[in-house]
Amino acid sequence: MLAAYLQYWKINLLTMAEYRADFFMWFGFTVVYHGSALAALAVTMLRFPSMNGWSLREMFFLYALWMTAHELHNALFFNVVSVPEYIREGRFDRFFVRPFDTLFQVLTVPSRTFPDGLILGIVTLSIATNVAGIHATALTILTIAAVVCGGAGIDLGISLFVAALSFWLIRVDTLRWIVMSLEQDFTRYPISIYTRGVRIVLAYVLPFAFMNYFPASYFLGKHDTAFGLSPEVGLLTPLIGLLWTALSYAFWNVGLRHYQGTGS
Amino acid sequence: MTPFTPYIEYARKAFAREATYRIELIAEIGSLVLRVYLLRSLWTALYTHNVAPMGLPLHSMITYTTVALLMSLVLEVDGTRVIREKLREGGIAVDLMKPIVVPFAYFSDGIGQTLVHAAAILPSLLFALLLVHIDVPSLPVIAIFFCSFALGYGVNFFVNFLMNGVAFWTLETFGLQLIVRWISDLLSGQILPLSFFPGWFGRAVFALPFAAIYSTPLLIYVGIIPPAKWGAALAVQAAWLAATTGASYLLWRAASRRVVVQGG
């Protein structure tokens, strides 16, 4: 299985070398996507220096933490998003006749995914850590790395859960859009700016706040004003990521047993 | 049969085609309402903890943001995407042979698609009003706002036309187009008022065509552009409309000589 996985990345990298113009275009796309989000944040905070007690430097770290976790998820698990499409078009069934785990096969469909976003994320996070004045000891760096992996796990767990729902429901696009919007837009700001119901959703139901808000509060030594939790909860991220991935994988397997194809 | 009949037919066809994606339309309304909530939370938090900028109190800011989101329902429709698709699939050759003015046909197609999305404005507005209060200016202001919005719609259409027209030279334009879209979202005043940009850059953004798309109608709506300056503001928009139309005409003339068959 490992050999097959390495082979998959080898093919990806060879494709990248072949379609160089494409690669640069998508790299530019990733840069502009995150760049315009950060630029909007910076311009806003020139006028309004305090975001519920968070400074621009701290907000930069908050964003970079989410960005890196999300890009790690995109680099390794992006294909999960395509599952509803595979099922709708009947392309999912071929995964049953091959001697590999179905999820593994979904993750290794060649799709020209390059880890460019991840590299950009790591660079941005390093800069942001510095800018935010976090003292970077070896232990801190390892903890941040663990949080990023945990964040990617949360991302994977939730997208796998939505994908698994499509074994029962043919159309999950609407749900997926709303979940994506909750993740991409709502994680940009400290959750303390939202009303209580939304905070609860982001902390306990779809725990996107553990991708960045709670761990960032911990690293920056800020008080959590959303729930008044102790800052150490931010260290739970890897555990929550693992838990969500495990539960979603179990749910995925239940879905697989239920799955009968759409007949297309 | 008048000379306009084929174009009205194009618009009707596009309307019917686009209207079949009902679930996407519901998703669009859902994600818009989420963003209205998000931006209400954001600006409320920012205004609570900082000094409000001159001339733009919180209620104006929330009105600005909400109206911008409603406008985006219409302005984010890329009516000329059809050019790219037709180029890829070869349909453009057939269209060029028909006794029609092809850009007009595509414009009608775009109008048809736009009308479907315009139908989402009313339900979106009703849901938005559950979350926020929107200032309603006097009737003349609203009338001028709609004139300015119409000019902005034209500029937006031709900017898209130019972007899609690039596909005549390089077929892979999707990434490029998304890049331009995000830059233009930021520089058009959709995400934040252009007056927030600092220094010379703040003055330069007003001189770009993007400002004609969102910023001008919105500043008229919230009253930052006073009645005395309406004429000048609309004139600048009209100038941009003329410039982008002219550029589109030149591009189209050069491009239609370049149509090459790429097989398939």
Summarize pLDDT for A203-228 with one digit per residue, the tens.
Answer: 999 999 999 999 999 999 998 888 88
Q: Does B183 touch chain A (CB under 8 A)?
A: yes
Contact flag B198-A46 (C-beta cutoff 8 Å): yes
Cα separation, B95 vs B133, in Å, equals: 47
Residue A43 has its nearest CB partner, among B24, B41, B192, at B192
| Direct distance between the N- and C-terminal alpha carbons of chain A, in angstroms, rounded to an integer | 30
Distance CA B26, CA B16 (A): 16
Torsion of CA A51, A53, A55, A57, to 10 degrees: -110
Contact indicator for A167, A255 with CB cutoff of 8 Å = yes
- Residues pairing with A51 in the sheet: A54
Amino acid identity of residue A180, one-letter, is M
Phi first, then psi: what are they for A54, rounded to 5°? -100, 135
Nearest Cα to A209, choosing from A73, A76, A72, A62?
A: A62
- Phi, psi dihedral angles at A226 (to 5 degrees): -80, -45
pLDDT in tens, A142-198: 999 999 999 999 999 999 999 999 888 877 777 887 888 888 999 999 999 999 999
What is A162-198 written as a DSSP string?
A: HHHHTTT-S--HHHHHHHHHHHHHHTTS-GGGS-HHH
- For residue B157, give every residue at least 6 positions away whose Cβ sits within 8 Å of its Cβ, in sequence order, or none: B79, B80, B107, B110
Instruction: Show residues of chain B in contact with A47, CB under 8 Å.
Output: 50, 53, 196
Looking at residues B233-249, what average pLDDT do you find? 95
Question: Does a structural domain hold residue B262?
Answer: no
pLDDT tens column, A11-68: 888 887 777 777 888 888 889 999 999 999 999 999 999 999 999 999 999 999 999 9
Q: Bigger pLDDT: A247 or B25?
A: A247
Tell me whether residue A263 is in a domain.
no
B261, part of any domain: no
The confidence score (pLDDT) of residue A262 equals 59
Q: Which helix (H) or strand (E) holds B11?
A: helix B5-19
The 3-state secondary structure of A188-241, one letter per residue:
CCCHHHCCHHHHHHHHHHCCHHHCCHHHHHHHHCCCCCCCCCCHHHHHHHHHHH
Number of folded domains that form chain B: 1
What one-letter code names the amino acid at B234? L
Q: What whole-number percentage of chain A has pLDDT above 90? A: 55
Distance from the B5 Cα atom to the nearest Cα atom in chain A, whole angstroms: 36
ipTM: 0.87
Residue B198 near chain A (CB below 8 Å): yes
Please state the domain count of chain A. Answer: 1
Q: How far is B99 from chain A (nearest CA, A)?
A: 37
The pLDDT of residue B86: 77
A104 falls within a domain: yes
Closest by CA position to B85, among listed B14, B149, B173: B173
How far from chain centre, in Å, is Cα A94?
27
Strand partners, A54: A51
Kindly determine whether residue A178 and residue B35, on different chains, have CB atoms separated by under 8 Å.
no
List Cβ neighbours of B11 (8 Å cut-off, separation of 6 or more): B108, B109, B111, B112, B115
From B38's Cα to the closest Cα of chain A, the distance in A is 7
At residue B102's C-alpha, the angle toward residues B97 and B108, to 5°, is 135
Q: Which residues of B touch A171 (CB under 8 A)?
A: 23
Q: Which residues in B lie closer than 8 A to residue A40 (C-beta atoms)?
A: 186, 191-192
Q: Which of A32, A33, A177 lies at the smallest CB-CB distance from B31?
A: A177
What does the alpha-carbon distance between residue A208 and residue A179 come to, in Å, rounded to a whole number? 10
Instruction: From chain A, pick out residues whose CB is under 8 angstroms from the CB of B178.
Output: 29, 32-33
- CA separation for the pair A62, A211 (Å, rounded): 9
Q: Are B12 and B112 a contacting pair, CB within 8 Å?
A: yes
Domain housing B222: 5-256
A179 CA to chain B: closest CA distance, Å? 9
Cα B65 to the center of its chain, rounded Å: 15
Interchain CB distance below 8 Å, B196 and A43: yes
**By three-state DSSP, how is residue B76 classified?**
coil
Distance of residue A240 Cα from the nearest chain B Cα, in angstroms? 25
Q: Which residues contact A170 (CB under 8 A, 6 or more apart)?
A: A84, A87, A88, A262
Q: Does residue B263 lie in a domain region?
A: no
| CB-count burial class (<10 Å; 0-12, 13-18, 19+) for B213 | buried
* Residue A33 belongs to a domain: yes
Task: Output phi, psi for B171, to 5 deg.
Answer: -75, -30
Structure tokens at B198: 């600092």
Residue A236 CB neighbour total at 10 angstroms = 18
Question: What is the number of alpha carbons within 13 Å of residue A8 lying toward its C-beta?
Answer: 18
Q: Over 50: is that where the pLDDT of A2 sits?
A: yes
- pLDDT one-digit tens code per residue, B111-165: 888 888 888 889 999 999 999 999 999 999 999 999 999 999 999 999 988 888 8
Size of interface A-B (CB pairs under 8 A): 88
In which domain, by residue range, is A144 found? 2-258
**What's the pLDDT score for residue A118?**
94
Residues from A in contact with B at Cβ < 8 Å: 21-22, 25-26, 28-29, 32-33, 36, 39-40, 43-44, 46-53, 171, 173-174, 177-178, 181-182, 185-186, 189, 192-195, 198
> Does A264 fall in a domain?
no
Nearest to A185 among B38, B185, B196 (CB): B38
Q: What is the pLDDT of residue B264?
A: 44
